[in-house]
Amino acid sequence: MNPSAPVSVPLLFFFDLGNDGVGHATALQVPAALINDILISHRNERKVWQAVVPVSATAPSVQPVHHRSRSIEAASIAGLIFGGLLIAAILLFGRQPGADATRDEVNAWLSDPGADTSAITALYLASFAVIAFLWFMAVIRRRIGDREDRFFATVFLGSGILAGAAILVGSSVLAAAAHVARSYGADAIDFGDYVTLQSIGWGVLGVHSARVAAVFILNHEPEENLMMKIAREMNLSETVFVIRGSELVIRWFTPNAEVNLCGHATLAAAHILWQQDQFTGEEIVFQSKSGPLAVSKAEEGYTLDFPLQLATEKREHEALVTDLLGHTPDYIGSNGEDCIAVVADDATVHAFTPDFNKISALPERGFLLTAQDSSGQYDYIYRGFFPKLDIPEDPVTGSANTCLAPYWAGRLNKTKLRARQVSERGGNLIVEVSGDRVLITGQAVTVFEGQMAIKPERETPSCNG
């Protein structure tokens, strides 16, 4: 028998996912003597069989099987579908009166026959958005899984499933009030129940719109140099230290400087103290460089009681800010900490591309860009940039509202406002101007906890766990 001639053997069937993301299935009739070598080669080097196997003239012609749903292009399409559907759903949900609406506004909306249609449509859109999101996550997981650790890829997909579940639950809660009112009449929904549903729904939807802070609870105050080193090691926008004693002292550090006030890190510190049962009262008072700061429990999460910081107009900043924005804003001010620019169109805030060199030229620590929200879902939106603190753009800056809230309260003639920081991650806040204080309400969740081992002789600390 000629070993180089084709023999009657079962067809070898190979399936391989190529670098182009397309699956290829091929059936080949080959010399028997090469079968073992082919299998060994295929185990050692993917796709080598395509080059070394001589196809017989009598081999059947098999077309590749394309799996375009697993390609990077498919992931891009899925991501675009997800974003479009979710934005449409949020805009529809945003037509509902918010948690701070009046009783008359809620009753009028519940009595509208179109309210149920709008809410249910938004729920359907959110559901299909989750399907597109999971498709996107699955493709990314597969691509990562081919090259990286499978455990990491699985955790990556798991976080996506949790995010999708949050979207579905939040959307269902927001649609519930309108659906019940349509089915059983507007009187079936109590005003208090409606407000609660709105708070829960938006809270769940926004659970992944978060700002991360590292919280250290200590019995003794470390040297400032050590706290600075720890903040650099954590490499988060804020690391907060709470020192227990006769009073609770709080200090905040960015990766390169100590700051006088930070909203989200204060909220995170209070959350940890209550969660760990290290404080049992309904209000925590921290002593800080900005004076006493109170944090209390609220239906929507936690409420920060911060000092109001009025901005004063700064005409001397006009040339630099105009150059930064490309046009002259409606107002330029400063509270001593941050420069504030108010523009007429909220699209300008969304589309703004920061020049960090120009922002760093401002005498203040950061730059806040704000506008009235045109969608009606919020009273104002804003973005915050702090390149001097090694924070190019801050996801959510609670302390910024100590000056933004009084400005918008005066302009809109209302004391309780809804704010949205429109960074890539984003976050929602409820703010209220009360005398010389600003009340800022937000939520917090614990992501992970552990212990940090500090090396002796003031070396850079390392973290385990």
Q: How far is CA 70 from CA 38, 84, 401, 417, 422, in A?
A: 27, 21, 44, 45, 32
Query: Of 74, 397, 416, nearest to 261 (Cα)?
Result: 397
First and final C-alpha spacing in the chain: 65
Please tell me the distance from the alpha carbon of residue 335 to that of residue 67, in angstroms, as a whole number: 57
Q: 133, 78 in Cβ contact below 8 A?
A: yes
Q: Would you mind telling me the total number of residues written for the chain in this entry?
A: 465
Residues 6+ apart with CB under 8 A from 224: 258
Residues β-bridged to residue 334: 312, 339
Residue 130: how many other CB atoms lie within 10 Å: 22
Query: Of 384, 394, 383, nearest to 349 (Cα)?
Result: 383
Query: Of 330, 410, 325, nearest to 359 (Cα)?
Result: 325
Query: Of 227, 237, 285, nearest to 454 (Cα)?
Result: 227
* Catalytically annotated residue among 238, 300, 364, 393: 238
In degrees and rounded to multiples of 5, residue 261 shows phi and psi of -160, 135
Query: Of 104, 118, 137, 122, nearest to 170 (Cα)?
Result: 122
Residues 6+ apart with CB under 8 A from 76: none
Q: 358, 371 in Cβ contact below 8 A?
A: no
Residue with tokens 């200590």: 218
Q: 1, 31 in Cβ contact below 8 A?
A: no
Q: 368, 357 in Cβ contact below 8 A?
A: no
Residue with tokens 């933004």: 404
Q: 437, 305 in Cβ contact below 8 A?
A: yes
Please tell me the distance from the alpha carbon of residue 275 to that of residue 282, in angstroms, as a whole number: 13
Instruction: Note if 238 is an active site residue.
Output: yes
Residues 6+ apart with CB under 8 A from 390: 254, 255, 256
Q: How far is CA 60 from CA 65, 334, 411, in A?
A: 15, 77, 77
Q: Which residues are designated catalytic?
A: 238
